[in-house]
Structure 1
C-alpha cells in the first residue's frame, strides 16, 4: 500500500521447490561453432591439418593466442562436440562460440529514476543516493523475457488511467464489450461496457482512476518500454485489468473488495496485485481470496505501512492463510527496510522496492512510497515468470518467487525468506549467493549503549560509539521500540553524514553500514507516548 493508506502479510502453506540451474533458459551460441584454445606448438600445423585433427573445419585463427574457431556438423549437440574436443590431446580448452548482445536496457527517458528495476547507485527521485545492485535484477531478466500478452494482471485498486500513453497499449481489453453495443452487457457477465475492467463501487465498467494510486501500481507492472516517453515496467508486454473498489480518497468497503476480487477471478486474471488493506479478520474476504486460489491465480498483497510486526498483530488481506497469497515488505534504494514497512518472520514473505518509486499516475508521473509500491514489483515478476514458463501453476509461481529471493541483510529475521524478489533468479530458477554486506557474517565486538526504559518525553540525547580499527561497522539493536513516526534514533558517521533514521519497532536488527570506526547516535522523542526504548548490545565490523 502507498504510505498513509490504511492497513494491510501471509502465512501460506509451505511449499518446497528444488532449485536447478538454468531452468527454461539456455545460453545462446553460434550453431555448430566452438572456440578452441590449443596446446603450445599446435598452431604451427596447417589449417587443413588442424581441421582433420579436430574433426571439423577451422574457420578462423586468432593469432598469438593459440585459439581457433572450429565449425562442426550442426546435427551434433553442443555437449557432444565440447566433450569430444576437450578429450582431444591437442586441446587445452573448448567452448561454444557464445553470442553476446547489447543489454536490453529500456530507452525510456525516465528509466534511470526507476531504481527498483536498475540500480547503479544513482540518487532516487528524492535524492537519496542508492547502493548499486539493490534492485529486482530486471535488466538480466529482460535478456530472457520481456513479457507476453497471454497473461492477465488485475490491479485491484483505485482504477487505472487507461488513456495514459505509457499504459494504454498494455491494457486488458474485453473484446466482446469493445466490439459490442454500447449500453449492453454483451458478454453476459453482469457488467455493462466493462472494456478495460470493472468499478465495484458503481457496478459499471468505468474504472478510470480518479486518485493516481492504481495507475502508479500499473506503471511498475507494465508501463510500455522503448516508446520514447516516461518509464518502463517490469513487463514490456502484458495485459493489465483495472479493478476499482477504492475511491478518490483511497478508501473502499469490504463488500466492494469482495466484488472486485470475484470479478478478477471470473474474468481470468492470473496475477492479482493488491496494494491495500485494513479492517479486521473477515471470513467473507478470506473466502473471496480462496476462490481466486481455486481458479489458479496468485494473490500478491502489501504487508502494510504501520511499522508493525504482522506476526504479532495480523494485517489483512496479506496475512490470510491461503496458498496463493504472497505478502510484500518495502525496502529503499540502499537495501534498508523502509522505516514504515510492516514485517514478520512468519507472515511476510519477501521484500521489494517501495521507497521513492517513480511511476505513472493520472496522465503524468510521480514518486510514491509504501508497501503499495513494493507489491507491483512482485506482481510484475510473477507475470514475467509466467510469460517465460506458461505451464507453471499458481502454486509453482509462488514457490519459485519465494525460493529464488536474493538474500538481503535488512530482510533477515523480518521476512520468511530473508531476501528480496529477484526477477533473474526466478526466470532461471537459481538462487543468489549470500549477501556479502550482511553484518551478521562479520566479526563482532560487545557494546552496551541504550536509552532509558521506558524513556522520558522530550528526550534529546547524544551517544558516541566507536569500533577502533574498523573500516566500516553496523550496530545491532536487540531491542528497539519507540513511537512510530514521532520518536527517532538517527545515526551519523564521523564526518557528520546521516546514515540512517530509525523509528517504530526494529528488534533484533542491524543498522545500515557506517563508514569509519566511529559514529554519533541522536535519540529524540516528543512529549507523548513513551515506549520501552532501545539497546545496542554489539557491533559487527570489517
Structure 2
C-alpha cells in the first residue's frame, strides 16, 4: 500500500521560532506577594496599585489566570512599546513585590499528521487490536493496549468528564454526538450566570480568542479527542478508548499549534474548578514555568490527574508539563512495541525519554478524525500527542469503575499494570527505565487489577522508602487510631510473594522494616490494608 506523506513539521521548542505566529508584544506572568493584597477589594486593584506606586512599566493588558482564592494574585501582563522582555523581567523582579516573575512562555502541540490511507478504519487501529497485519511499520501481534478485553469490563461512564486542553475540536462530528460536557449553570443569554468569569461557556472555552466557541482550526485537538473518546460500536468511523465519558473542550492553541503558557494555566484552573475528573494535555513546552507547575500541583491536590505527552524531539530534554512530578508522563511506541524513534520516518522526530517518564503508549500511525467533516476520519497522526489520549482513555475507564480514585492510586494502577520488557533490550530493561518508563499501557490489565478502594489511605498517611529498594524497605504509617494492617506483595504476574501483618499502636504512628533481600530484582505491587483504608503502590527491587 502507498501512503502520501504531507507532514506538518514544527519548530522544536526555540522561542524565537514560534513567536511570529503569536503576539510579538512582551508578556510576563507575575504573582503578587500576599502582603500586596491587603485592604484592596480585589487582586486586580492590588496589582494596579503596585504598578502605579512603584512606577513599574504599565502593561497594555492584564488578565487574571485563576479565580481560585489562593491563586487570585496570578496574572499575565502584555506590554506595548519598545521596552524589551529582559528589561521588563529585571524591573518587575527587582521590585521584590512579586513571589515570582517569568516570561509567558510559548509551547506547542506534540503531534504531526499525514494523509490517511484508503482502508477500513478499524483495520487501521492497530493500537486497539494488533494481529500483526497492519500495513505500516513492522507490526507485531499483541503490541496493543488490549482494548477488546478491557471493554468487557468497562466502556466508560457519562458521569466522568475529561478535559481536552488543546486546539479545540469539531463539536459537530458524529463521533462526538452526545458526548460534550455541558455547563448547565450558564445558559446562552450573554450573561455570566455562574459567575466563573466566562460568559456562556456552555461547552468549554476558547482561551485563544476569548470566546465560547472552542472550534478546532487545526485538527490536532479533534484527533486527540477522537483517539480518546470517539463513539464506539456505532457503525461509523472508528472507536475511541472510552465510549461514554463527557468531553470538556478548552482551546489553548490556534491554527499554528502554538500557544501561551498563560492560556494553558487558565485552562487547567478552569477545568478543575468546573469539576473535571482527568485532564489530557497533548502539548509541550521546553521552558520550566513556576506558574505552570503550580497549576499542575493544584489540579493534583484537587484530585485531578493530568496526563501529559513527553514530546517528540527523540531526546532527553525535559518538556513541560510532562516533566513535573504530579503528571502522568507518556512516551510513544510503534506497532512492533519499540519506542517510536522516527515519527513519519524522520529520526529527529521520536518519542522523548528521561528520568521523568512514567509509561509509553501507542503513538505512531494513529488514525484521527477530520476536523472539517461531520462523519469522516481525517489524517494519520504521529507523536506523543496521540499516546497521551490513549492513556487518558484508559484512566477514564478506571474512573468509570471507581470515580473516587485519587491521582496517586490511578498512577500506581497504570504503572504497575504495564507490559514491561517489550522493546529494545538496550533500552527496555526490567522495571522502570528512562525510555519506556514502567512499560507499555495495557488497558485490560489496568482494569483487572483495580481493587475496591472506597476508602483509600492518603499519601500523608503512608510512606515507603527507599523505592527502588535493594534489601530493606522502610514502611511508615500515620493513622487516625491504632489499627492492625495486612500487607500483600505480588509480582507482575499477580503471584503472591509476601504476606504479613503489622500493628500500629495507640501512638498512631508505626515504623517498620521489611526484608526483601530474598526476592528477585524486578517490579512488584504492594497492597496495604487497614480499617481506615487501602493503598496500592508499585515497588521496585534492585539488588
TM-score, scaled relative to structure 1: 0.57
Q: Which secondary structure state, in structure 1, belongs to the residue aligned with residue 361 of structure 2?
A: strand
Matched, 1:377 2:390: yes
Deviation of 1:6 (Å) = 4.8
Greater length-normalized contact order (CA 8 Å, ≥ 6 residues apart): 1
* Aligned residues of 1:120 and 1:133 also touching (Cα < 8 A): yes
CA–CA distance in 2 between the matches of 1:420 and 1:353?
A: 8
Pick from 189, 198, 201 the counterpart of residue 194 of structure 1: 201
Structure 1 gaps, min length 5: 9-107, 435-542
Query: Structure 1 residues 358 and 3, CA, compared in 2 at 3 Å: closer, same or farther?
Result: farther
* Aligned residues of 2:363 and 2:387 also touching (Cα < 8 A): yes
- 1:84 corresponds in structure 2 to none
Q: Which secondary structure state, in structure 2, belongs to the residue aligned with residue 140 of structure 1?
A: helix
Q: Deviations over 1:449-492 (max 9, x none)?
A: xxxxxxxxxxxxxxxxxxxxxxxxxxxxxxxxxxxxxxxxxxxx
Pick from 325, 332, 335 the counterpart of residue 333 of structure 1: 335
Q: Which secondary structure state, in structure 2, belongs to the residue aligned with residue 252 of structure 1?
A: strand
Name which one, 1 or 2, has greater alpha-carbon Rg: 1
CA–CA distance in 1 between the matches of 2:309 and 2:419?
A: 19
Q: Which secondary structure state, in structure 1, belongs to the residue aligned with residue 248 of structure 2?
A: strand
* Aligned residues of 2:333 and 2:362 also touching (Cα < 8 A): yes
Pick from 165, 179, 182 the counterpart of residue 174 of structure 2: 165
- 1:112 corresponds in structure 2 to 123
CA–CA distance in 1 between the matches of 2:12 and 2:401?
A: 35
Q: Which secondary structure state, in structure 1, belongs to the residue aligned with residue 245 of structure 2?
A: strand
Structure 2 gaps, min length 5: 1-7, 15-118, 342-348, 451-490, 495-543
CA–CA distance in 2 between the matches of 1:5 and 1:388?
A: 40
Matched, 1:4 2:10: yes
CA–CA distance in 1 between the matches of 2:124 and 2:492?
A: 25
CA–CA distance in 2 between the matches of 1:141 and 1:376?
A: 16
- 2:355 corresponds in structure 1 to 346
Matched, 1:393 2:406: yes
Pick from 279, 282, 285 the counterpart of residue 275 of structure 1: 282
Deviation of 1:109 (Å) = 5.7
Pick from 414, 418, 423 the counterpart of residue 409 of structure 1: 423
Matched, 1:256 2:270: no
Deviation of 1:303 (Å) = 0.5
TM-score, scaled relative to structure 2: 0.57
Which 4+ runs in 1 deviate beyond 6 A? Answer: none
- 1:216 corresponds in structure 2 to 223
- 1:174 corresponds in structure 2 to 183
- 1:139 corresponds in structure 2 to 148
CA–CA distance in 2 between the matches of 1:5 and 1:427?
A: 38
Matched, 1:359 2:372: no
Deviation of 1:111 (Å) = 1.8
Query: Structure 1 residues 299 and 181, CA, compared in 2 at 3 Å: closer, same or farther?
Result: closer
Deviation of 1:301 (Å) = 0.6
Deviation of 1:270 (Å) = 1.1
Q: Which secondary structure state, in structure 1, belongs to the residue aligned with residue 193 of structure 2?
A: coil
Matched, 1:123 2:134: yes
- The count of residues paired between Structure 1 and Structure 2 equals 325
The two structures, once aligned, show a CA RMSD in angstroms of 2.2
Q: Which secondary structure state, in structure 1, belongs to the residue aligned with residue 185 of structure 2?
A: helix
Matched, 1:428 2:448: yes
- 2:212 corresponds in structure 1 to 205
* Aligned residues of 1:7 and 1:304 also touching (Cα < 8 A): no
